[in-house]
Structures are given as C-alpha cells and as structure tokens.
Structure 1
C-alpha cells in the first residue's frame, strides 16, 4: 500500500525535526555551551586557554605529564611541577584566578582557602565528579551522594571508632613484624643491606588491610587487592582515551582485561561475604575485622528499622565498601610510609629525634596502642610528610547549580578543582620554607601551623573527610616505630627521585635505601 503524500511529508518533517534537535544538542555540547562558559569566566577576570573542540586542554595535560615522567627530578621536595604539571603550569601562566579545559568542561582552579573550605562543606551544592571508568577501581562510600551516602557513612562509621582500631593494633603489629623479619634476612654480615623499600611497604600495607578487612580470609583478600592494583594501572593507561565518547565500549584488549578483573574481584569478595554471613547465622562470634564490624553494624541498622532489609546495605553495596577499604587504606598508607622513610633518610637529625622518642616510650618492647598515641614527634613528621607529599594531588567537584562562591560566580555544568599539592606548597600560606621539610611547624598542632587558615587537607575535609585517616596514621606510627627500633637508614646512591601519580603519589623508580641494623 503506497503512502499518501501527506504521510510521507509528515515522516520527512518528523525525521528532519529530530535530526535538527539532535544536531543542535551535539553542537551545544561540543561548542556553544563551552564557549558560553568561557565568556562568563573571562568576564570575572579568570584566565585560561581558549576552548578547543572536544578535548580542550586534555591532550596538553597528558603530554606534559608524560614529559615530566620521562626522567627523574632533582632531590627536592618542590614536587608540584612534576606530580601536577599542567595545573602548576596553568597557575604559573594565568595566575591564581585561572581555569583549564578537561574535555568540554572548564575546571575552575580554586586557590583561596575559604573558597576551598566552602566547597568541602557544601557537599550537596558541590557533589563529587563521577567518572564512569573509576567505578572499576573504587565503589562504595566515596562514590555516593545524598541520602545513600549518609546511610553508608552511618553504617560504616562504627568500624573506625577508636576503640575498634585499638582492637586491630595486634593485627598491625603482626604484619609489621613480618616486614622487619624480611628486612633482617637481607642484611649482610656487617649488618647492612641496600634494598628497594617500596615493594616491601606496598606488601606491608596490603597485608595489613587484608588482615584488617577480611581476618581469616585475608589470603583471598590479598589476591583481590593485587587485581585492584592492576586495575588502577590499566585505568591510568587509558585515562585520556576515556574522554572520547563511547571509547569505553570498544572491545580492546585492555577493556577485556579490566572487565575480567572486575568480575573476578566481585566474585571473590562475594564468596568471602557469603561465608561470613553463614558463620554469623550459625552463631559463630563476629570477627573483629572491618568486614565483621561492617556486617555487625549493617545487621543492627536493619534490626532497628523493623528488619526491613532495604534500610541496610545490599550484598553489592558491601562488596563496594570492601573494594574501597583497600584502595583507600593500602595506597594512602604505603605512600605515607615510603615518603616518610625517604625524607628521614635525607634529614638524619629528624630520624634520630624520632628514634629517641620511640625508645623513650617503648624501649625495645613491642609498640602498643596507648604508646603510639604518645608519639608527638612522629605525629609532627607524618603531618609534614602529608603536607609535602599528599597522597592525592587534587580533587574536583561538580557545580550542581549556579552559585556564588565569595566574589566568584559559578555556573551549573562547570567543575571546580581543589589543588591540594599547590595549596600545601604555597609560600604565601606556609612561609618561605613552604617547600622544605620542617616538621617543627606542627609542634603546636595543625591549627597553629596553618594560622587558622584552611590550607591543610591531605585527607580531604568537611562532612566527607576520609573515614580511614586515623586507621592510616595509626598503622604508619606502628610501622615507623618498629623500623626505627631496629634500623637506621639512608638513601642509596642509586635512588632516583621521581614522585609520580598512579592514582596516588608514588615513587616511579622505587625507593632504594641502605638499611643498617641498630645494635641493642
């Protein structure tokens, strides 16, 4: 049956209309909206490169990052040009009121402490930027917003209370003792050895978080964590390509491996959780690990709401939190430990002060929870290490709706970028020695060191501050106390100073040091 002329005309009109609407949306997304945002920012005195189609500054961003990683840097703690090269370059070129383009979105770089404080505190107005590919590395609390985030935080919080962490201290001790034993086996007849401490410290923190997370199932947990490390490397390798629309759906070898790892991680964690749930139902005592405490808190939440299961976490949500335990716990603490040892190798006077304090409190006895909390000098050192070498160089937040931030007007569709490493190294905020290791600045605590300004946030800030920061600092104190009891250390001549970002700030070429056994 032949269609009438009127019907054909209607079909053509509808097709053309849909085509024009779609073309307009694409044009608006790719060009008109970015150019409008650029105009609005420039009118407020912000400077940056002109918008370039689709990728913006992303290509230059990754080219510059690749270039700085091509060779080590001088032995200095002025690491911002290496770990955040494009952000550093933008601020140096365009000033503190500047922006860059990450794809079709402008990132407004915030350098004013009070503006940064406001962004961290207003979590509904400035939600996290959600990158789809990142869910293959981290899930759980860090990826959630609104009521879901509040529920997860409420259920997870009890696992990180101080009295629970005290119970975990023997777990920290066991893993740290294994590290000390392994290092002692490397010593030559003269009581010294040259080793790359970075793999050992990664193994230590992975072991601690595996034991602390999964207790008796920690061997399975370690396999999961190895897969997560591989995931992180694959994601970073494909980061720039992920900006290309639909790229993540192409069946490349890396994508197949990423998806294969993701399924294996999820299956393994689900098996661990199911075994633990069966043990609980059988009346066995809850293990005092993070998974046991999380399940206990989850069951309590469900019971308090009339056994309505939707009020607690689902199996998939518990899996997500377990994945997050490792990325947040293992990466952060291994970074903190390796840079602490590098800095104490370079500043032997601070190494000796830290050792003296450890020996005054513990002698040659095993460190315990109460004693660790008395380590003031070690606390000062760790704070300074986190200032100079923060695990994350910066964080981005989405502008949900048009909003005024001080004298700056931000518009929906923009992102703001909080450059942690630039703020931590800012001479205007920290003084002329901002780029120099000086733990003494923290002798009166963080508030005095910052003069009350919002210029120190290695674990984030506001309601979403890292839930595991006390866990990480306690573990670091335990490890450093044992290391200082047993060894002195200095940098090897083969050490190449090359801080590099692989999710977190890590030593690109390892950390080669000379260990010497301390005679007791």
Structure 2
C-alpha cells in the first residue's frame, strides 16, 4: 500500500515536471516572442510574417541579387553590397519602413535604418544596451565571452586591459612588425612573377591572410608567435564552421545538437583554449615581453576577476584580437586592392603620392600619416565593403530610443551596408567608387557622418581599428611601390557574409613588377 502511494507521488511529480518544462518551452518559443511583438505592434512597428522556430531565417537566406553589383567585362562598377548579400532587407524596408520587426528563431529583432535613432543607439553608453546574448551563446566560441556578458562587467574589464590610448602606443611600436611581414609578402609575389615570365595571376586572399596573421601573431604573442600562427589558423577554421550555423544556430536548441558542424566547433574551441593557455603558461615561465598578451595578462592580474574567470578572460581577449586585428584587416585589404585594380586611374594617383612621400624608403608611421589619397581610398573601400554587415545590440532592460520603447530582451540591428550607401546621405553616386568624396574627411563626405561605421561608432568603437588602418596603409603603399595590377579574367565578383563580408570566390589579380 505504501509503495503504491509513493509510486503515485512519483508519477505526479514527473507529470508536474513535464508540464513545467512544456510551459517553459511554450513560453520561450511562443509566449515571450509574442509578448515582444505585441508591445512593438502597439507602437506601430510591424514586419514580415514569422514562422514558428525559424522566424524569418529562410527569407534572409534568400538567393543573392545578382543585379546588385553591376559589372562591365567582369569589372564591378556599381557596388550595392547590402542588396547582394541580403536582398530581402531592401524589400522589407520598402514595405515596412525604416524601423521594422523581424526574427531569427525566437529572437525578436528591431531593425533600425532611421538616422536619428541610429545616432541614439550608437552613442548610448548605458550597460543596459550591449552585445546580444545570442551572440554570447552561439558565436561566443569565436568572439569570446569577455565583452559579450549581458551585465557589462567583462566589457568594463576589457576596456581596462586595452585602453585606447595605451593601445595606440602599442600600435606605433608594431610598425616594424608590419613592415617585416609586408616585405615578406612583396618578396613572395616578386618570386611568383619572375617564375611566370613577368606577369602572374595571383589569388591574393591566402597571401593577405598570411600577412595579417603573421603581424597579429607577433604583436599578440611575441616570441611565441609561431604558436600564435597555429592558433589563428584554428580560429579561422572556427570562424568558417561558426558561419555555417549563423542562421540555424539561433533556432532554439540547435547549438546543443551533436551534429557534425557542432562537434567540429566544440573540438576547435577546446584546441584553441588549450593552445592559448599553453602560451600563457610559457610566458609566466619566461617573463615579461612587450606585446598585447602581456597587456591582457597584466589587466587580468590587476582586475577583480575570480581565479576561475581569468583563464576564460585571457582566451576571450585573444579571440577578440584575432577578429579585430587579423580577420578585419585581411578582408579590408583584399577589397581595397580589388577596387584599386578595378579603377586604374586611382591606382596611379595613389601610387604617385606614395612614391613621392616615401622617396625609395620603406613607409613608416609618419609617412603613412601624410598619405591623403591612400587614406581616402581606404575610407571609400570600407564604405562600400565594411567588414560587418550589421551592428547588433540587445536591451538588457526596457529602453527608449526616439519614440519607440524597446522591451527588455529585444535585439536592435543597425544595417551598416544600407547606411553606407544611402543616396540621401552620400549622393547620387553612393553605389560608385569615388574616394574623392573623402577629400575633406568623413564630415565632408556625407550629410550625416555618424552613419559611417566600418569599425563601429561611438563609445563601443572597435579598439583594433588603429592597428588595422596602420597595417592597411603600410601594406597597400608597399604593394603600390612594387607592382602594378589589374583584375584577372578569373575574378568573379561575389560578396559573401562569412561573419565578415568577404569575396566569396577570392580576388585574383594580374600583377607586374614596376
């Protein structure tokens, strides 16, 4: 009789537990998203119809718009990168306006393309607005949780580790590393050209990535840079793996499934963590070095982080340096060289400036600061092909921007590609390559400078932008000093999102020695 009683109690408890889990699942998938949508609909914000579990993920994966980037004999002349990679956004903006609602899985997103709201969002300093939680969970394996924690604590620590003014001093000290790595690349291309009777068709992507990886490995890991190169190769593999789940990974539960992609990602995460901590252990045994890793270690030591948090903090910051200093620089350099190859008149103008300023010497920090034409060209390249397609934030408390109340838990997206090519802001030639627009800087290039954000904008601007720009200027100026180049007949214009916006089939250039 007693056993029968306890059996009934156990069954009742299991039923209550099952119903509780069912309720939580329903609330996460249906109840909570609908509550967000209802609050936003009452304010006049609508958007495309959402599908259960998927949201609008399938529409966002819609086939590219091949007419968005018009070419003439294979050379791109109209650069509508945003429409090429996410054509559906153009349709939604026309249909629902500059502020509308969409979803990825059960994640509700307000996409903002309205100038004044963009200004408020990008200049907001409150820790109640930060990197989205879904990025911390889904993409944190690559980007690092260190600056993605919802309460903002790690963001504050990260700012202490690499303060902007200290980082800039470090950047100046890295110029020699950039020069060495660039000369290695230049000599490699010279040997390839000589082996091909004076003209070589080179797919530059892997060479530029190797250059950028070499710089950041030495800058970050000092004498252990060879291990740094191994870490960055694995981080690149992790990036490619993570990009495969950038849409489906936001569907509830997908990131936990032991499928082939997730298992590969988990293995890479473990390997990367082990490698980084091995370098850290060696550093503590060897002693002090003047590199970025030392700054991270000192920042972690002086922080109030708990012992079990320090390892994660160090690993996460190394990952963030990878994305800011390696991946962003590499892809920006490739796009910049592609545009110069497609516009030979600008290539000649910039080359003439470089040769005049350098006068046969290797460009240094003071020289590249004087290169106005080169700076204009890089700014225009970053406008047309920014590293990131969107800037994303999450409201960790109820917030208000303009007349819109954003409920806690809702994400806010700013579509960078659309803002960078809006004819109302940039003029009728907004989809054309015209570095001249930056002759008087960003403020002279457009009506609303705050809408230019290749490295972000406001208080959360990317700390790695100074190193990236120094690398870009030294790299491009040395290439222009040694080679003339044009687009290869093998080049296929194919902007693609792989966490960053990159050439889907690489960039092939025809190179000659000067």
TM-score, normalized by length of structure 2? Answer: 0.91
Q: What does residue 283 of structure 1 align with? A: none
Query: Which residue in the other structure is 1:59 paired with?
Result: 58
Structure 2 segments unaligned to the other structure (5+ residues) = none
Aligned to 2:206: 199
Within 2, Cα distance between the matches of 1:350 and 1:115?
36
In the TM superposition, residue 450 of structure 1 has moved relative to its aligned partner by 3.2
1:186 aligned counterpart, secondary structure? helix
Cα offset, 1:41, TM superposition: 2.8
Aligned equivalent of 1:386? 382
CA pair 160-356 structure 1, distance change in 2 beyond 3 A: farther
Q: In structure 1, which of residues 507, 513, 517 is the aligned counterpart of residue 513 of structure 2?
A: 517
Aligned pair partner of 1:217 in 221, 224, 230:
224
Distance 1:69 1:224, change over 3 A: farther
SS of residue matched to 1:184: helix
Q: Report the 3-state secondary structure (helix = DSSP H, G, I; strand = E; otherwise coil) of the residue aligned with 1:404.
A: strand
Deviations 1:20-76 (A, max 9, x none): 5444433333223333433333333333122321211112222x15x5599997423
Cα shift at 1:168: 0.9
Which residue of structure 1 aligns with residue 394 of structure 2?
Answer: 398
Q: In the superposition, relative to structure 1, how do residues 310 and 56 fare at CA in structure 2: closer, same or farther (>3 Å)? A: closer
2:409 matched to 1:413?
yes
Give the count of matched residue pairs: 504
Residue 229 of structure 1 is matched in structure 2 by 236
Q: For residues 4 and 294 of structure 1, what CA distance do their matches in structure 2 show?
A: 61
Structure 2 counterpart of 1:315, from 294, 301, 311: 311
1:162 shift after superposition: 2.7
Q: Please state whether the residue corresponding to 1:46 is helix, strand or coil.
A: coil
Q: Distance in 2 between matches of 1:297 and 1:227?
A: 25
Q: Determine the structure 1 residue equivalent to 2:331.
A: 335
| CA distances 1:363-384 after superposition (whole Å, capped 9, x unpaired) | 2211111111111111111111
The 1:369/1:141 distance shift into structure 2, 3 A limit, reads farther
- In the alignment, the residues of structure 2 paired with residue 279 and residue 159 of structure 1 have an alpha-carbon distance, to the nearest angstrom, of 27
Query: C-alpha offsets along residues 420-460 of structure 1, whole Å, 9 cap, x if unaligned?
Result: 11111111111111111111111111122233442111111
Q: Secondary structure at the match of 1:195?
A: strand
By how many angstroms is 1:264 displaced?
Answer: 1.4
TM-score, normalised by the number of residues in structure 1: 0.90
Match of 1:40 in 2: 39
Task: Indicate the larger mover: 249-258 or 434-443.
Answer: 249-258
1:92 alignment counterpart: 94
- Which residue does 1:305 correspond to in 2? none
User: Which region of structure 1 is more displaced relative to structure 2, 457-466 or 7-16?
Assistant: 7-16
8 A contact 1:72–1:496 mirrored in 2:
no
Task: Report the counterpart of residue 114 of structure 2 in structure 1.
Answer: 112
Over 3 Å counting, the alpha-carbon distance change for 1:118 and 1:360 in structure 2 is same
Equivalent residue runs for 1:80-229 within 5 Å: 80-122=82-124, 123-131=126-134, 132-139=137-144, 141-144=146-149, 145-157=151-163, 160-188=166-194, 191-229=198-236
Task: Tell me the distance in 2 between the aligned counterparts of 1:364 and 1:133.
Answer: 49
In 2, are the aligned partners of 1:399 and 1:410 still within 8 Å (CA)?
yes
Cα pair distance change 1:4/1:192, threshold 3 Å: closer
Paired with 1:312 and 1:113, the residues of 2 have a C-alpha distance of: 43
CA 1:370/1:474 → structure 2, altered by over 3 Å: closer, same or farther? same
Distance in structure 2 (CA, Å) of the matches to 1:259 and 1:13: 38
What residue number does 2:367 align with? 371
- The equivalent of 2:289 in structure 1 is 287
C-alpha RMSD of matched pairs (Å): 2.7
| Partners of 2:245 and 2:111 in 1: CA distance | 24
Aligned in 2, Cα 1:16/1:219: closer, same or farther, shift over 3 Å? closer
**1:177-235 alpha-carbon deviations (Å, 9 max, x no partner):** 00000100111475321111111111111111111111221111111111111111111
- Quick one: structure 1 residues 125 and 69, their matched pair in 2 at CA, closer, same or farther if it must change by over 3 Å? farther
Counterparts of 2:456 and 2:49, CA distance in 1: 31
Measure how far apart 1:120 and its partner are. Answer: 2.4
1:267 corresponds in structure 2 to 274
Secondary structure of 2:44's match? coil
Instruction: Give the distance between the partners of 1:479 and 1:203, measured in 2 at CA.
Output: 12
1:289 to partner: Cα distance: 2.0
Does the 8 A contact of 2:68 with 2:83 survive in 1? no
Query: Which SS does the other structure have where 2:58 is aligned?
Result: helix
| Deviation per residue, 1:255-274 (Å, 9 max, x gap) | 22222221211111111111
Cα–Cα, structure 1 residues 52 and 408, in superposed 2: closer, same or farther, change >3 Å? same
